[in-house]
Amino acid sequence: MTVDADAPVYVAGHQGLVGSAICRALLRAGHNNVLVEDRRRLDLRRQDDVDQWFTQHQPKYVYLAAGTVGGIKANATRQAEFLYDNMMIHANVIEASRIHGVEKLLYLGSACVYPRQSPQPIPEQALLTGPLEPTNEGYSLAKIAGMRLCDFYRQQYGCRFVAAMPTNLYGPGDNFDPESSHVIPALIRRFHQAKLDGSNRIELWGSGSSTRDFMYVDDLADACLFLMQRFEGPGHINIGSGVEHSIAELAGLVRDVVYPDCQIDFSHDGLDGMPRRAIDASQLTQLGWQVATDLADGLKQTYDWYLGVDEDVRRRRKRLAVNLDAAANTGMEIAPTDVDLVENRSTVMSVGGRD
């Protein structure tokens, strides 16, 4: 199947890590009718709002990458929020896509949907074969529901809705909020702050023994465009790099990129999450797709992006201080682009939350 470059393509979650990468990939591929909507104007948890938006814009293809996301701590302490938000978002977008005749929808799940004790690397068939990891059960259940919803809509209504399960992702547009970030942006931020502070040693939470499969997000986006044209189901398909790294090894690679002189200590205390998680992406490989970016190169590109955004935030904060003084004296309005800074949320910290 060839996707017409002029057809309206909706990317739900375009401000997040995955959605922004899909937008970049679509533009690189020559698509000239990419539809996005700011979450402040469209709350995907509200069914009527979603239906009205679809009525107005009539997308033909949908990439469903929106959701409330976070790292180990956020998942463990905000389970109700993660379950509710994500179930509502996924159900509303999928149902609106059916009602309004969307030609094809690609739903992005997460590797956390698989049982804690899954065989490694994890095949698609492992889904629902055992208990989930307790620390992110709420998020996992919502993702499973979204994936199964695609299956059932395909069976009952004949909708061309398919689901893909990416491995652990990182890259430009990631969430660097210390309270909700995943492991790679959290490590980049920790080492960067240690470098700024002149500290030559940091302590990391856990043992460092857990292993993960990491993928650069632009590679994932390329895989999503590939699957939109090549994959029709049934069932879902894994997207992974096929290479495992321990958290200790990952920390060393991030240290080498950000602050080579820093020493690493592990506390051997706290939550490690699943002891091992790697994705079996052999089905995707058999379709003809291959990952392009190795971990070391991806980390460097991610840190370069982080430095650029960090500098932009500093410039915006300096400008905001001047604008606030002028606004107090003259009644001048604050630019919409400065709203996040007024609310003490930098661009770096606001991307990748609820998208």
Query: Can you tell me which residue has the tokens 């929106």?
Result: 66
Contact 240, 73 (CB under 8 A): no
Nearest to 162 by CA among 233, 90, 89, 230: 233
Q: Is 139 a catalytic residue?
A: yes
**Backbone CA torsion sign across 165, 167, 173, 177:** positive
Rounded (5°) CA angle 29-224-312: 70
Nearest to 58 by CA among 2, 8, 106: 8
Q: Two tokens at 109?
A: 């799940």
Which one from 139, 259, 303, 306 is the annotated catalytic residue? Answer: 139
Within 8 A by CB and 6+ apart from 2, the residues are 229
Contact 206, 268 (CB under 8 A): yes
Contact 240, 121 (CB under 8 A): yes
Query: Can you tell me which residue has the tokens 């919502």?
Result: 142
Q: List the catalytic residues.
A: 139
